[in-house]
Amino acid sequence: MTAQNLHSASWYRVRNLRPRLRPNVQIHRQEFRGRVWHVLQDHATGQFFRFSPETWCVIGLMDGRRTVDEIWLAASDRLGDDMPTQDEVIQLLGQLHKADALAGDVPPALRELDERARSARRGRLLKQVRNPLFVRIPLFDPDRLIAATLPLVRPLFSGFGLIVWFVVIALSAFQAGMNWEELSSNTLERVLAAESVVMMFLVFPPLKLLHELGHGWAVKRWGGEVHEIGIMLLVMLPVPYVEASSSTAFASRWRRFAVAGAGMMTELLIAAAALQIWLAAEPGLLRAAAFNVMLIAGVSTLLFNGNPLLRFDAYYMLGDLLEIPNLATRASKWWAYVCERWLFGVRDAQSPADQPGEAKWLAIYAPASFAYRIVLMLTIALFVAEAVPLVGIALAVWTVLLTLGAPAWKIARHLLTSARLERVRGRALAVTAAGCAGFVALLFAVPVPHATVAQGVVWAPEAGRVTATGDGFVRRVVVEQGAEVGPGQPLLRLEDPLLRREARVKAAKLDVLELERISREAESLTESRLVARKAAFAREDLAHVERKLAELTVTSPRAGRVRLLNPGDLPNRFVRRGELLGYVLRHGERRVRVVVLQDAVDLVRNDTRRIDLRLARDPGAEVRDVRVVREVPSGDRELPNPALALSAGGPLPLDPNDPNRRRALETFYQIELALPPDLGPLGVGERVHARFDHGREPLAAQLWRYARQTFLERLDI
Amino acid sequence: MTDTATSGLAALPTVGPLYRERAEPAEGMLEAACHAVYARTAARWRMAGRARAKRSARRAGAMAAEITALSDTDLRARATALHRSVAQAGAVSEALRPEGLAVIAEAAWRQLGLRPHPVQLAGAAVLLDGAFAEMETGEGKTLTAALAAALLALTGEPVHVLTANDYLATRDAGFVEPLLRFLGLSVGAVAGGMPEPERRAAYRASVTYGSGKEVAFDYLRDRLVLGTAGHARLRVSGLRGDDRRRERLVMRGLGACIVDEADSIMVDEARTPLVLSRDIEGELPAEVCHEALRIADTLSEGGDFAIDRTRHRVELTEAGEDRVAELSADLEGLWRVAPHRRDLAVKALSARHLFRRDEHYLVADSGVEIIDEYTGRTMPDRFWNDGLHQMIEAKEGCEVSGIRTPLLRLTYQRFFRRYRHLSGMSGTLVEVAAELWSVYRARVFDLPTHRPLRRQRLRSRLFPDETAKWSWIAGRTAEMIAKRRPVLIGVRTVDAARRAHDAIRARGIDARLLSAAQDKEEAEIVSEAGAPGAVTVATNMAGRGTDIKLAPGVAEAGGLHVIVAERHQSRRIDRQLAGRCARQGDPGSFEICVSAEDELAPRLVRHAPFSRSSLGRPIGLWLVDRAQARLERIHGRARARLVRQDQNLEGLLAFAGEDL
């Protein structure tokens, strides 16, 4: 406690009061990180106040007999260096009064009471308006309902219940693992099927109601009260909620933890039951329903409620686990403290991390949660905007303004009016302005390399293909890789031992026939002619085989340079007729076909300064400054090469309805790039990354273009 | 004129059973924000209000011929009729204004020998409107206020005319008495040190003159009598016919208020709240003070503590804290607890380095007396709180008195907001128009001068050090005296006044000193300040309201010459000082002299040789200008914060019951 002023100018107003706590005030003892704190609930607003041991000592002195002045003096005696300042005592009394915990000896300030009620009402209303994506509509007081139904589930909220739960969940997880293939295959399709959506809407509310009742029962089980249940319009989807904050008063953090976790545990239990049904039932409506229940209760719950970055179940669970209550608020405060202390130089700034080990959690939580919220908000906003364009866009803008604008406004107000910053306001404003200016400059003025990266494959013309003209083993590669050849020049020789033998047999046969003809010539003309005929056949036969033998020499289809595929592997390899062995390419004929998605094509076509290539096989090798040969003006959906499919590591997702697996799901454009001829062993069909350089452009411009494209594309405007 | 006139009291309509004042409006954050924006924009379009005021003045002028013709008896009868209709209406409605102004103007002519000119009538109309009038210094604001006060008093509401100091209050009350008496009204004046029965009598008069501080403190004391339950209890006791409580009250309530020198009282002084202290409650033992001072003396500036002169504050560094702990290791009591230890050290350091004798306080027989930084007068009944006073007493070797705990604390802002009708005037208001709107919801109208202004501003000067400044000023004074012109030298502190005095005396020139140490001869000094060759050295107190009348022949010689010997806390105070010359069409001149050693001079000017080159001087002067503007801003923010804290406290302190 190192506040500057020990004395307060308002002390005279309070010094003679004799305050004491109201007898019916409930104070709860809780332990956080080894220190005992006292928690007091304000039943009017549902707020909780947490008092440190020092503060509690001051409260302990309020017995209705001591005056505030005497309390302060006694506290300074007892606490020594930790004594509170007068302002802190006034602050404390004010807090206690606001929580209706104070009984004094003065008539109340009626105007203030009235004002307080008014502002509480207004606050509740404002909260609704402030966040239209999360509107809460309270319905009724479920306390009695929960009390009445509690006996039904009470056994579950015990140590034994916990063990049962774990066993059931573990078993189900095992079963789910066994049936994983079936469970996980084309989930998306199943989810998006029309009847499934309807089912989802039917299943969702009761499931969530059970989830909320889970919280309610848990609160009730350990002596808390639940006085509000209602419907929250979560992005216009009705979701039930319960007001379970009375669990904050529980002394055991594990009970608080259990209350927060009860919802998810309930759902997981339901998911486990649904799994059994799914396993047992025949395909049909029941099975589909079970599947949906599993999906919602198992997966969506873990994704949504199980994320501590949002203020849902897991957030409270994390807070109890770490013993850091009010994590989010205190994390923001911690960052404010860091700024004030180290950037603005407020020497007496006090860290809200008052217990060992808290600081690191506070440091991590705030930025993580903020970033996540922004991403989530934008996603939701975009989703809503897609569904109902006009309203959605307004909603999206409002949400973004709130997520970014409200904190900005708060920061600005703090900077301008906070009394704590008074002496360093100049510096604080300067540092903040410099920070903002730096950020803006970074965003708007500092050009950042801007480029589109696309994938493609190396491509060559049909006429240059060198294919095996027959089946056989490669005996010899006649030319060197890259050698200049003329048309018809042998490139490599194949060998087929059977064919050679056949030729020899055929030749021998012809020789025999020839001899026979000669010997018969003298005997009978007729016979000799017959044999001559036979010999002619045999000759033709031999010629045929010889032709085939000749075909075993692969020749160049045209003039150009030889580019064999894998020349090192060729000798002694068996090739089949028609197999592609390589290319004979003319100068500059080798190209790269790049596919560019629709949203980038404008930029690539109109604002490309330079194109660089990089091989997928060898990312270190880079080909700089290649030239565009041809742009295919219209979009295409037929893949030029299967390597470009998403499943093969390319950019294009395939259309699942195409049996040939050659059609892309979205339209793309092809651009042909020239390759420098002297480039080393770059095989045709090889995957290539092309980087279209758009020069340097400030980030803001890049983001703006991206945002505009996203909106244009997704909202069809 | 310290006696109070209470005749004609019987004729007054009695005020209702209540102690009348305005309830403070509750205001949301949004509303306040809107008003702040309005204050900076629309409140500056003062056209409509000014036109209305001028119309009233014109109509009054048109009626003048008819009214001039009346005999004294008929005029009195006319006044009585007016009285009746105003009292019936309960307010000076716009329809009644022209006639009212005309009648009172005529009465002023007959009783005071002054005929109010149209600007004064317009000014009075602005005041009746519940707005603020900026009127050039020397335009006759006293008479303007008297016109409006007389009309407002006809409603039967208590009318307070607040002036910058007691001297002005007594002077003005005496000045307007014949006029009010003629109208069947009474006038009273309160001044410091007046016993309670006399005060009560003064407040019972239709119009009461008093300094802002006196009246505000009287109000505080009344609040104390009324107690927490306030009005309700008073009403009940009134019903029961049990009027003991009422008898202890001094005032009749907060009815109408006309603040003369409004910016001084409502803006400058509003930075420190009014605190009514109880007599001795606790004590800070003398030996503790001496120990603290002894320890403070061993601390070094920079290493152990830092002095923030702009905000008038001392801060202990961490090293300083350790050092204090070390030095007080063998001491008992408060020294054993770190926060107390720190507190004592800071107090002792403040006493040593921030509060200077003859600038912030005087040492009188009774002990340390605070000097009011705005009026330059001592305030024997005020004390610094939480032990600071005791520390300074110890420092000066006086007997260390007991600590006085506050009984009541009230900001000027809240005090003025409780008036049912709030209006005011000053020569320098435009600068604070936005603040007047944000805080009081009052508009400012600037009125033209009656006669063309003949004030001459001479070139400002910058000197490297005090000695050079004073010797130049002495030379300048000699120059002016040779021309048979009177000279007024305005300084900021008693100490500076003494130095100026010495410098001038060294030249063999006789000068009168007008400062907090000798305020009994004040009226006499002021009355002689306009004589040919008269030299007067004055602290702030001469800057406001004092009318230095030129002796015959002085106007021909060039009128009064004012030397502003140091930049003050705000441009308005400088302007006020300059406004002592060239009043009501007289000629006059003024100049501003600044030295690099002045307290307001920024560090850059102090250390860089701006004053030594003709090129540097304008830059140096400009920097001093900026420093002054900065100080004004800081003070403005301090006031805004005070108001805000006041409101926040109300919520926080709700457990302590309603504030008084």
Indicate the Cα dihedral angle A514, A519, A521, A527, nearest 10°.
-80
Residue at A107: amino acid letter: P
Closest-approach residue (CA) in chain B for A80: B337
Give the whole-angstrom CA distance, residue A207 versus residue A213: 10
Residue B611 CB contacts under 8 Å (≥ 6 apart), including other chains: B462, B463, B464, B595, B596, B605, B617, B620
The residue of chain B nearest to residue A88, with distances taken between CA atoms, is B652
| Alpha-carbon distances of B132 from B44, B415, B446, rounded to whole Å | 12, 17, 8
Q: What is the pLDDT of residue A301?
A: 79
Q: Which residues, in sequence order, are CB contacts of A550 under 8 Å at separation 6+?
A: none
All structural domains of chain B, each given as residue ranges with its CATH number in brackets, are 32-273+412-446 (3.40.50.300), 277-407 (3.90.1440.10), 454-631 (3.40.50.300)
Q: Six-digit token pair at B163?
A: 């002036």
What Å distances lie between residue A115 and B33, B229, B647, B651, CA to CA? 19, 19, 12, 9
- Cβ neighbours of residue A484 under 8 Å, at least 6 residues apart? A559, A560, A561
CB contacts < 8 A (A, B)? 99
pTM score of the predicted model: 0.68
Q: What's the angle, vertex CA B228, arms to CA B275 and CA A67, rounded to 5?
A: 75
Taking the mean position of all CA atoms in its chain, how far away is CA A158?
Answer: 37
Percent of chain B with pLDDT over 90: 19
CB within 8 Å: B337 and A83: yes
Q: Give percent helix, percent strand, percent coil of chain B, each to the nearest 5.
A: 50, 15, 35
For residue A497, what are its two tokens? 């031992």
Give the Å distances, CA to CA, from A717 to A426, A708, B579: 46, 10, 68
Of B339, B407, B644, the CB nearest to A83: B339
Q: Sign of torsion, CA A60 A65 A67 A71?
A: negative
Which residue spans of chain A are classified as CATH 2.40.30?
Answer: 589-715
What whole-number distance in Å separates Cα of residue A390 and Cα of residue A377? 17
- What is the model's pLDDT at position B180? 92
Residue B287: which residues within 8 A CB-CB, separation 6 or more? none
B653/A90 CB distance under 8 A: yes
- Least confident range from A80-89, A327-336, A521-530, B649-658: namely B649-658
Asked if A308 and A341 count as a contact pair (C-beta separation under 8 A), the reply is: no
Mean pLDDT over all residues of chain A? 81
Give the model's confidence band at A405: pLDDT under 50 very low, under 70 low, under 90 confident, else very high. Answer: confident
Interchain CB contact of B651 with A (< 8 Å): yes
Span A116-120, mean pLDDT?
Answer: 74
Q: Which of B277, B647, B652, B658 to mutate to test the interface with A (most CBs of A within 10 A)?
A: B652
Phi, psi of A63 (to 5 degrees): -120, 10
Look at residues B119, B179, B118 and name the one whose alpha carbon lies nearest to residue B149: B179
Instruction: Give me the architecture of the A11-121 domain, per CATH.
Output: Alpha-Beta Complex (3.90)
Contact A80 B273 (CB under 8 A): no
Contact between residue A690 and residue A454 where contact means Cβ atoms under 8 Å apart: yes
Cα separations (Å) of B355 from A6, A66, B315, B388? 20, 37, 15, 10
Q: How far apart are CA B558 and CA B536, in angstroms?
A: 17
> Do B406 and B375 contact (CB within 8 A), yes or no?
no
Q: Is-contact B133 B123, C-beta < 8 A?
A: yes
Which segments of chain A belong to CATH 3.90.930? 11-121
| CA separation for the pair A491, A481 (Å, rounded) | 10
**Which strand ranges, in their side-by-side order, compose the sheet holding A553-555?**
A553-555, A490-495, A472-477, A574-575
Lowest mean pLDDT of A661-675, B15-29, B113-127, name the range.
Answer: B15-29
Tokens found for residue B273: 């709240």
Task: Give me the pLDDT at residue B535, please.
Answer: 92
**Residue B169: closest CA among B207, B126, B204, B131:** B207
pLDDT at residue B2 greater than cutoff 60: no
Q: How far apart are CA B560 and CA B532, in angstroms?
A: 9
Within 13 Å and on the Cβ side, how many CA atoms surround B210? 29
pLDDT tens for each residue of A327-373: 888 888 888 888 888 888 877 777 777 777 788 888 899 889 888 88
Please say whether the beta carbons of B302 and B248 come within 8 A. no
Residue B150 has pLDDT above 90, yes or no: yes
Q: Tell me what pLDDT residue B38 has.
A: 74
| Closest C-alpha to B511, from B499, B523, B493 | B499
Is B407 an 8 Å CB contact of chain A? yes
Residues 6 or more apart in contact with residue A311 via CB below 8 angstroms: A328
DSSP reduced 3-state for A158: coil
Asked if residue A531 lies in contact with residue A463, where contact means CB atoms within 8 angstroms, the answer is: no
| Per-residue buried b or exposed e for A171-184, using 16+ beta carbons within 10 Å of the residue's own CB | ebeebbeeeeeebe
Q: Taking residues B627-654, report their average pLDDT.
A: 82
Alpha-carbon span A505 to B115, nearest angstrom:
151
Q: What is the mean pLDDT of residues B341-346?
A: 88
pLDDT in tens, A247-268: 877 878 888 888 888 888 899 9
Q: What pLDDT is attached to residue A98?
A: 78
Backbone CA torsion sign across A80, A86, A87, A89 = positive
Report residue A708: phi and psi, to 5°: -65, -45
Contact check, Cβ <8 Å, A12/B308? no
Burial class (CB in 10 A: 0-12, 13-18, 19+), B380: middle
User: How near does any CA of chain B get to the CA of A9, in Å?
Assistant: 8
Contacts of B176 (CB under 8 A, 6+ apart): B112, B142, B143, B146, B149, B150, B187, B207
Quote the CA–CA distance of A675 and A592 in Å, as a whole number: 7
CA distance A106 to chain B (A): 6
The beta strands (E) that lie in B52-182 are given as 132-134, 159-163
* pLDDT tens string A560-592: 888 787 777 878 888 888 888 888 887 767 778
Given a cut of 80, whether residue B222 has pLDDT beyond it is: yes
Structure token digits, residue B87:
């009292």
| B608, burial (CB in 10 Å: exposed 0-12, middle 13-18, buried 19+) | middle
- Decide if B311 and A423 are in contact by the 8 Å CB cutoff: yes
In tens, the pLDDT along A179-197 reads 887 776 655 555 555 566 7
Minimum CA–CA partner of A96 in chain B: B655
B-chain residues within 8 Å CB-CB of A91? 652
**A1/B654 touch (CB, cutoff 8 Å), yes or no:** no
Q: What tokens appear for A294 in the block? A: 């599993």
Q: Residue A647 in contact with residue A576, Cβ under 8 Å? A: no
Residues B483 and B480: their CA atoms lie apart, in Å, by: 5
Would you call A93 and B655 a contact, using CB atoms and an 8 Å cutoff? yes
pLDDT digits (tens, 9 = 90+) for A227-252: 888 888 766 667 788 888 788 778 78
The answer to whether A700 touches A443, Cβ cutoff 8 Å, is yes
ipTM of the complex: 0.73
What's the mean pLDDT in A605-633? 79
Structural contact between residues B494 and B371, judged by C-beta atoms closer than 8 angstroms: yes
For residue B177, name the pLDDT band (cuts at 50, 70, 90): very high
Q: Which of A28-32, B247-251, B329-333, B390-394 has the highest mean pLDDT?
A: B390-394
Q: Tokens representing A460?
A: 């060559």
Lowest mean pLDDT among B182-196, B483-497, B520-534, B578-592: B520-534
From the candidates A4, A10, A42, A102, which should be mutated to test the interface with B, based on the most B CB atoms within 10 A?
A: A10
Single out the residue of B639, B570, B249, B221 nearest to residue B426, CA to CA: B570
Per-residue pLDDT tens over the stretch B48-79: 567 788 888 888 888 888 888 888 888 888 88
Give the mutation candidate from B27, B407, B642, B655 for the A interface (greatest A CB count, under 10 A): B655
Asked if pLDDT for residue B182 goes beyond 50, the answer is yes
Selected for mutation to probe chain B from A7, A8, A12 (highest B CB count within 10 Å) is A12
Q: Residue B13 — very low, low, confident or very high, per pLDDT cuts 50/70/90?
A: very low
pLDDT digits (tens, 9 = 90+) for A667-690: 888 888 887 766 665 567 778 888
CA B623 centroid distance within chain: 28
Q: Residue B658: its chain A contacts at CB < 8 A?
A: 107, 109-111
Distance of CA B642 to the CA centre of its chain: 18
- Per residue in A70-101, pLDDT tens? 898 888 888 877 888 888 888 888 888 877 78
The CATH class given to the A589-715 domain equals: mainly beta
